[in-house]
């Protein structure tokens, strides 16, 4: 028998993967050209040409040591260049010794939580939130504490402050947000930092701010994602190149610690050790070298913005209520009936795949990923209309 905890996890495992697998089944039955699959945030744009060139150049390197182990935190020259990029994003340059190359942001979050959590510690996160957060926190003996965001998905600072207690070890934020596309304002982040300063003082210990940032460069309409290092000392950022370079299968990212945090040396040591003992050992050598040559590069975000605008018109025409995403590549509209799983099933009848908001800790919504070709989005237009009409005819409001 497998572990009872894993049996429980498997029963409530990622709705994203469940719907993705359902999409594969429907495509097998009806043909891929008939199914509109918006279930998985799997970027479909090609990587920037600079990435392709860097990949070819690095793949041609030969000789001793090219594929050897390095420090568990990664190549020092790569970490130094990453530190320069972090300064551009967050306003302060971390010491390269406080940068850890990781197997994506997921690997980064697990290294962070392994380093900071004791059994029973709590991590607060705004809801809706990325479905895997609860598993990552549980991996290291912690408990995820979701706090409902405001109606427009911005931070509910009063609710976050009320949720902070003696077991709170960290606040985990994700901006631009998956699944809502919300970008947290500088003002709200500054106010959050002030709350954390006050609560840390009251509790007599550090509360970390952990920022998960894989969508930082995917923003629309001139939106800017605020830097964090000038706001709050005990801040750790983690990100990946999966979305901005369209290379999710390469599993490469990094963590960086705020240089103004007094405990940065010990924290970096713990995170580096975690990188090793969690089984990552080190981030992939080839990808470290490649991404270090294309820092700050990004796919053509204008394509995602055009898709967002097209989808916005389709959802509005169907009568769905939603907040226009400012970043990432997701819509998170309200469902026309209370049961989001039932509405997702009705959409499936129209060969449209979405993910129920219940999986993101926010029932009454669905997540729609628009990292698909425009023809797929356009093909869904009539299906969304019929699904809403069918849902309302079944007694929705």
- Given a contact cutoff of 8 angstroms between Cβ atoms, the answer to whether 280 and 129 are in contact is no
Q: Which whole number is the average pLDDT over 17-25?
A: 74
8 Å CB contact between 252 and 114: no
CA-closest candidate to residue 193, choices 165, 243, 229: 229
Does residue 78 lie within any of the structural domains? yes
Instruction: Judge if 33 and 168 occupy the same domain.
Output: no
Distance CA 108, CA 273 (A): 12
Looking at the DSSP assignment, which residues form a beta bridge with residue 99? 256
Q: Is residue 19 part of a domain?
A: yes
Residues 303 and 360 in one domain: yes
In this structure, the answer to whether residues 79 and 39 fall within a common structural domain is no
Asked if the structure places residue 167 within a domain, the reply is: yes
Residues 25, 165 within the same domain = no
Query: What average pLDDT does this structure show over 216-222?
Result: 97
Write down which residue in 292, 307, 327 finishes a domain.
292
The DSSP symbol for 151 reads T
pLDDT for residue 395 is more than 70: no
16, pLDDT greater than 80: no
Residue 90 located in a structural domain = yes
- What angle, rounded to 10 degrees, do the helices at 264-277 and 104-116 form? 120
- Rounded CA-CA distance 341/365 in Å is 9
Q: What band does 397 get if pLDDT is binned at 50, 70 and 90?
A: very low
E-assigned strand segments in the chain: 36-37, 99-102, 122-127, 143-148, 168-174, 208-212, 235-240, 253-257, 330-331, 352-353, 355-356, 366-369
Q: What is the domain count for the chain?
A: 2
What CA–CA distances, in Å, run from 263 to 169, 255, 269, 325?
15, 15, 10, 36
Distance between CA atoms of 382 and 347, rounded to whole angstroms? 11
Q: Lowest mean pLDDT: which of 27-41, 117-131, 142-156?
A: 27-41
Residues 373 and 273 in one domain: no
pLDDT of residue 88: 98
Q: How confident is the model at residue 396 (pLDDT cuts 50, 70, 90)?
A: very low
State which H helix or E strand residue 187 sits in.
Answer: helix 186-203
In a domain, residue 397? The reply is no
Same domain, 87 and 225: yes
Considering only CA atoms, which of 181, 108, 179, 120 is closest in space to residue 145?
120
The per-residue pLDDT of the chain, averaged, comes to 95
Of 257, 292, 327, which closes a domain?
A: 292
Task: Indicate whether 32 and 91 sit together in one domain.
Answer: no
Classify each residue of 269-285 as buried b or exposed e, where b means 16 or more C-beta atoms within 10 Å of its C-beta: ebbbebbeebebebbbb
Residue after which a domain boundary falls, among 239, 265, 292: 292
pLDDT of residue 29: 83
Nearest to 363 by CA among 390, 396, 340, 342: 340
Q: Which residues of 223-260 are buried (b: 16+ CB within 10 A; e: fewer)?
A: eebbbbbebbbbbbbbbbbbbbbbbbebbbbbbbbbbe
pLDDT for res 12: 67
Residue that wins the pLDDT comparison between 282 and 32: 282
Domain span at residue 113? 49-292
CATH number of the domain where residue 348 is located: 3.90.1150.10
- Identify the pLDDT of residue 21: 77
In angstroms, the CA 6 to CA 306 distance is: 41
- Gap between the Cα atoms of 388 and 394, Å rounded: 10
Tokens of 236: 């750790």
The predicted-structure confidence for 65-93, as pLDDT tens digits, reads as follows 999 999 999 999 999 999 999 999 999 99
Look at residue 178 in the predicted model and tell me its pLDDT: 98
Same domain, 182 and 236: yes
Residue 240, domain member (yes or no) = yes
Place of tokens 């990664």: 74
Q: Is residue 211 part of a domain?
A: yes
State whether 212 and 323 are in the same domain: no
Instruction: Mark whether 96 and 11 lie in a shared domain.
Output: no
Residues 43 and 63 in one domain: no
210 within domain boundaries: yes
For 340-356, how does the pLDDT look when each residue is reduced to its tens digit (9 = 90+)? 999 999 999 999 999 99
**Per-residue confidence (pLDDT) for residue 14, from 0 to 100:** 65
Domain shared by 19 and 94, yes or no: no
Q: Kindly report the CATH number assigned to the domain that includes residue 141.
A: 3.40.640.10
């Amino acid at each position: 028998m497998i572990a009872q905890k894993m049996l429980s996890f498997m029963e409530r495992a990622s709705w994203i993967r469940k719907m993705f697998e359902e999409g594969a089944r429907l495509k097998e039955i009806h043909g891929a050209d008939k199914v509109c699959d918006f279930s998985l945030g799997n970027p479909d744009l090609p990587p920037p040409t600079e990435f392709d060139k860097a990949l070819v150049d690095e793949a041609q390197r030969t000789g001793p040591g090219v594929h050897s182990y390095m420090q568990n935190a990664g190549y020092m020259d790569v970490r130094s260049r990453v530190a320069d990029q972090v300064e551009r994003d967050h306003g302060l340059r971390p010491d390269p010794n406080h940068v850890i190359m990781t197997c994506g942001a997921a690997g980064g979050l697990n290294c962070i939580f392994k380093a900071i959590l004791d059994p029973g510690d709590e991590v607060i996160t705004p809801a809706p939130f990325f479905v895997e957060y609860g598993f990552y926190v549980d991996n290291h003996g912690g408990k995820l504490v979701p706090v409902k965001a405001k109606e427009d998905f911005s931070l509910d600072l009063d609710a976050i402050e009320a949720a902070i207690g003696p077991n709170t070890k960290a606040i985990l934020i994700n901006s631009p947000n998956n699944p809502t596309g919300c970008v947290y304002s500088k003002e709200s982040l500054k106010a959050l930092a002030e709350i954390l300063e006050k609560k840390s003082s009251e509790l007599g210990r550090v509360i970390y701010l952990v920022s998960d940032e894989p969508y930082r460069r995917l923003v629309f309409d001139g939106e800017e994602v605020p830097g964090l290092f000038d706001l709050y000392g005990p801040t750790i950022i983690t990100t990946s190149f999966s979305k901005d370079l369209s290379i999710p299968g390469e599993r490469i990212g990094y963590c960086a610690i705020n240089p103004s945090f007094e405990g940065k040396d010990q924290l970096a040591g713990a995170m580096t050790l975690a990188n090793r003992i969690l089984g990552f050992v080190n981030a992939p050598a080839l990808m470290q070298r490649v991404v270090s040559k294309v820092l700050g590069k990004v796919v053509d975000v204008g394509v995602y913005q055009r898709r967002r605008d097209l989808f916005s018109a389709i959802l509005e025409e169907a009568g769905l209520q939603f907040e226009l995403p400012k970043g990432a590549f997701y819509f998170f509209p309200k469902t026309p009936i209370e049961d989001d799983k039932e509405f997702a099933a009705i959409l499936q009848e129209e060969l449209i795949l979405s993910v129920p908001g219940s999986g993101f800790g926010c029932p009454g919504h669905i997540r729609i990923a628009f990292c698909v070709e425009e023809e797929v989005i356009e093909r869904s237009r009539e299906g969304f209309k019929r699904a809403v009409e069918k849902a309302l005819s079944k007694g929705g409001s």
